[in-house]
Each structure stands twice: as C-alpha cells, then as structure tokens.
Structure 1
Amino acid sequence: MRKPLIAGNWKMNGSAELIEAFGQAFAEDGFSSSAEILIHPPFPYLEAARRAFSGTCIEIGAQTLNPLHSGARTGEVSGQMLREFGVEYVLVGHSERRQLYQEGDEQVYDRALAALSVGIKPILCVGETLEERDGGQTEAVVLRQVGHVMARLEPEQRRRVAIAYEPVWAIGTGRTATPDQAQAVMASIRRYQAQFDRELADELRLLYGGSMNASNASELLAQEDIDGGLIGGASLKVDDFKAICQSAG
C-alpha cells in the first residue's frame, strides 16, 4: 500500500516566524498522521526549519537545485549543499521553473539525476497549460514530461521518484481540476510506468498539485491514483495544512 505524501511548497513566501509557528503547532499538539509530511521552504530558512521541525513529523524539502555539485554559478545551490541541511526531497520541473526560468525537459532530467546522485528524492512536477488542455494535448504533454525523465533512469532510481501532476491552469488561480479530471491523468501516468515495471507502477506515489486546499483535499485524495498533494497557498496556513494532512489519513 502506498503511503500518502503531503508536500507544502512555500515558493517565495514565509518567514522565520512562520517556520517557528509550524514547528510549535506540530510539536505541541503531538500531531501524527499516516502520511509522510514535507515542507519546502525558501533556501534561507532551511537551517531554521531543521531546528524548528526537529522532533515533529515534518521533513524538509527544497524547491530546486542546480545540476552541478559546485562551480561558478552565482546564486545557485547544489544537492550536496542541500544534504547538509537535512533535505530529503527536492522539486524538479515545477511549472514556475519551466515557465519563468525556461527550464526544459532536459534540464529537469539533469536536476533529477543530480538529486538522486546525492541521496535526495526528486518530486518530478508535470502538467499542461490551459491552451494544451483545450487542444486535447493533456496526456501527450504530461507523458512526454514524465518519460523524458523516467524512461532514462535506472530501475532503482525510478523507485525513489514521486510525480506531482500540477495542471498549470489550476495553480494559484483558485481553479481546480475536478477529481475525475485529476484521476484520469494520474491513471495515465501509472499506466505509462507499468511499461517499465508493474511493481514500480503500483508503488509510484502520484501527487495532485493544482490548488489543493482544506475543503477539497478529501475528495481529491479519495481517488484511486492520487496518493497525496503538492500544496501551495494552503501550506502557508498552519490549520489548513494540518487539515489536509489529516485528510490523507
């Protein structure tokens, strides 16, 4: 049985005060969940998060990484650096990285490989724009993005990857794919993975990443192929994030 994974992506938001608030809330309540729980804070807060989340069920993720281990790359952060701060997961291919920073499929693959090489588990983000959905290209776009990474990894590497489907048209807009729409895409990803390994396909954790919140999480997480969520705005609110974690079991 797949263990649910709830990952909060704070993007370029948050503060030292918010880090402390999350740490205290999850520690004081003795909060527990059957889900694996992550928060991806901005880089400057990684050490504060490691301290604040110590003793809680929250693990630390990073929002991106550079494919190189070191070098003349001003402003960049390597996987080896992230490991020193206890980072367990890293997002690769988030739609904002693809759109705002022109990270293509090959660059996403390079980042996934760099993470795996230092023992960090990638969360591969895939998804289509509104234009692509309206053009009937959803499955072609999503499976191209998935395949460019997963088809080139070794079997043992694939088992360490989670995939987040984030319809670009539903991120930060308040719009959400219906549970049926999200489930259809998740099922197609799992069928694709079965081409490599049926056991892998059964174990692969698929997260929904399009404006999941406290009010719609239960219905989305009830779908057969949705194993968790990549949470944006709602992950900045302690009570909302805890409610989503509880919805996961």
Structure 2
Amino acid sequence: MAVASTSLASQLSGPKSISSYSGLRRSCSKLDHTQSLSLFQHLHSQLRLSSSSRKASRGIVAMAGTGKFFVGGNWKCNGTKDSISKLVSDLNSAKLEADVDVVVAPPFLYIDKVKNSLTDRIEISGQNSWVGKGGAFTGEISVEQLKDIGATWVILDTQKGGMSLEKMISFIGKKAAYALNEGLGVIACIGEKLEEREAGKTFDICFQQLKAFADAVHSWDDIVIAYEPVWAIGTGKVASPEQAQEVHVAVRDWLKKNVSPEVASKTRIIYGGSVNGGNSAELAKKEDIDGFLVGGASLKGPEFATIINSVTAKKVAA
C-alpha cells in the first residue's frame, strides 16, 4: 500500500540545523589532518555522551506517573461468558513482566464478571463514558457506573459513534474532563483515516484531535494518548515502526509546544492498530512508543501476554 506521509524532519528540523552542520564542515576544512581527526574524535565522544545521557533521562521521565510501559486490551464488541472465562483464566496464569501497566476493556455488560475473576495485576477500563452525570441517556454509560463496578480507566475515541470529526471534537474534551474530574484515567485515542494519510494530513488531523483534549483538561497526569491510525484498526494493516515513531515524535513535540515540556516528557504515547505478538517487539524498540492499545490480539491470552512482555525489547533498545 502506497502511503504518503509528511516528513517529520522537515517540520522539526529547519534551515538552522542544516547551516550549522555546513558551518562545521567549513571550519574543519581549514584544519590539518591531525587536528581534524582530534576534533572529530572529541565531537564523537561528546555526541555519544549526549545520546547516552538523553536516553537515560528518557527512561526515567518519559512515561507518566509510574514511569511504566502501558499495554491496554480493548475487547470491543467481542466475547461470551464462556470465551471470557477462558480468556480470564489464561491471563491469570500468564507470566507478565512487572514493569508494565496492564489494562483491559471488556464490553460493559461483562465488566463486573471480569473484575470479580481477573487478577488485581490487571486494571479494568470502560470502552466509553458519558459526558456528565448519568440520567435519561439511553444506551450510554456513566463514569459513576464505571467506577461503581471497579473500572479505573476509560477509552475515549475521537472517531467513535460515527460523528463528524468537528462534532466529536466539541464533545470529546468534555468527556475527558468529566472522567478525569471523577477519578478515572483516560486513554485518549487519536488517528487519521487512510485518505487523510494519503493526502499528507496525518499531523494536522492528530493535532486537531489533541487540541480537543488540551482545551478541556486541566491536568495530563492521568492521560495516556493512543495513536490509532483508523486505516490500521481491524484491517491487519500495521503502521511500520518508522511510521508510528514519526507520528509519536510529532505528538510529543506538539505537547511540548502547546501544553508544556514536562507534559510532553511524562505523557505516555502508545500505538494501536493491528498490534500482535509478531510485530510488538519491533514496534516497542522505537523510543517514543510507550506501549500499545491492542484489539483482536488481546482476546487471545497467550498472545496478549507476549505483547505485554515486549517491554523487554524496549529495555534492550534503551
């Protein structure tokens, strides 16, 4: 599939950085061979130290709150009593890496069953919540109800419900603000459609969705951003590690410029879109991919455990 993507380098690296490298080359051309070699050995040593320092710092501060890798399993509209009992049994017996926050989002009518049978090692999320306190809103789920049955997170998706993006943007921020004010963590989903990516609008769409959350919330401490390209959800198509990393870097840069450097550094940005046990390790190696929001593969206990444990690839990469 041919995919057009705006170059992140062109947005984040301007003429100044190019000219500075050119200037370095001009300066070095005036040195003799020994001086030039000595200078470049010194520069190489400094760059290595700088890179090492940056990575070490990132390992400490780049993930919000607990500083852990984050893996969510969104079960969507899947499962029966029997299949969920089997899935819960598999998850309860799985050996999971300790340095990972794990959350699952069952269909609403099974949350109570899952909460009462699943290990406390794994937290529970709702798949949606209402914009305010419950009432005469047929089919909606209130934050109060989610909390009452033991959920600690909620997934809020700018593409959910078939609304136009413009209408959802005026709505989703209010949902997030209410959930956060009532004590739920928010998994804020953003992402572009295929035609938007092919038109080079990936960043514009993601930034527009981010702004909906930024305009409404007062704190980002309990927010995880999930980049979910719509064209990769349930299709088997996956953004390459490089494509995903490019968007994650851009999202972090947007947060730095529009919220604060601290929020940009701490907020976990996870990838969702046909993640499975075969591709999670390569994706996890990318520096700005702080975890995953998993769909179909989260319905298979052993495979979901493999994805959770891909944090080991992150540790090696760091």
Deviation at 1:30, TM superposition (A): 5.2
**1:124 maps to which of 178, 188, 192:** 188
Please give the secondary structure, in 2, of the residue aligned with 1:158.
Answer: coil
Q: Which runs of 5+ in 1 are unaligned?
A: none
Residue 41 (1) aligns with residue 102 (2)? no
Give the direction of change, closer, same or farther, for the CA distance of 1:21–1:32 in structure 2 (3 Å limit): farther
Superposed counterparts of 1:1-249, under 5 Å: 1=60, 2=63, 3-29=68-94, 31-55=96-120, 57-93=121-157, 95=159, 97-99=160-162, 104-154=168-218, 157-195=219-257, 196-249=259-312
Deviation at 1:101, TM superposition (A): 8.5
Please give the alpha-carbon distance, in whole angstroms, between the structure 1 residues aligned to 2:304 and 2:158: 20
Give the direction of change, closer, same or farther, for the CA distance of 1:240–1:100 in structure 2 (3 Å limit): farther
Deviation at 1:167, TM superposition (A): 0.5
Residues 224 and 270 in structure 2, CA contact (< 8 A), matched pair in contact too:
yes
Residues 208 and 228 in structure 1, CA contact (< 8 A), matched pair in contact too:
yes
Give the direction of change, closer, same or farther, for the CA distance of 1:234–1:30 in structure 2 (3 Å limit): closer
Deviation at 1:144, TM superposition (A): 0.7
Deviation at 1:50, TM superposition (A): 0.7
Give the direction of change, closer, same or farther, for the CA distance of 1:21–1:134 in structure 2 (3 Å limit): same
Please give the alpha-carbon distance, in whole angstroms, between the structure 1 residues aligned to 2:95 and 2:204: 44
Deviation at 1:175, TM superposition (A): 0.6
Please give the alpha-carbon distance, in whole angstroms, between the structure 2 residues aligned to 1:54 and 1:11: 20
Please give the secondary structure, in 2, of the residue aligned with 1:66.
Answer: coil
Tell me the amino acid that sits aligned with residue 87 of structure 1.
A
TM (norm. structure 2) is 0.73
**Higher alpha-carbon Rg:** 2
Percentage of pairs with the same residue:
35
Deviation at 1:235, TM superposition (A): 0.5
TM (norm. structure 1) is 0.93
Structure 1 or 2: larger helix share? 2
Give the direction of change, closer, same or farther, for the CA distance of 1:29–1:233 in structure 2 (3 Å limit): closer
Tell me the amino acid that sits aligned with residue 149 of structure 1.
F
Q: Which runs of 5+ in 2 are unaligned?
A: 1-59, 313-318
Residues 91 and 302 in structure 2, CA contact (< 8 A), matched pair in contact too:
no
Please give the alpha-carbon distance, in whole angstroms, between the structure 1 residues aligned to 2:141 and 2:298: 23
> CA RMSD of the aligned region, Å?
1.7
Residues 158 and 169 in structure 2, CA contact (< 8 A), matched pair in contact too:
no
Please give the secondary structure, in 2, of the residue aligned with 1:208.
Answer: strand
Please give the alpha-carbon distance, in whole angstroms, between the structure 1 residues aligned to 2:263 and 2:142: 28
Please give the alpha-carbon distance, in whole angstroms, between the structure 2 residues aligned to 1:221 and 1:203: 17
Deviations 1:44-93 (A, max 9, x none): 001101111144x1110110011121211112110011001111111112
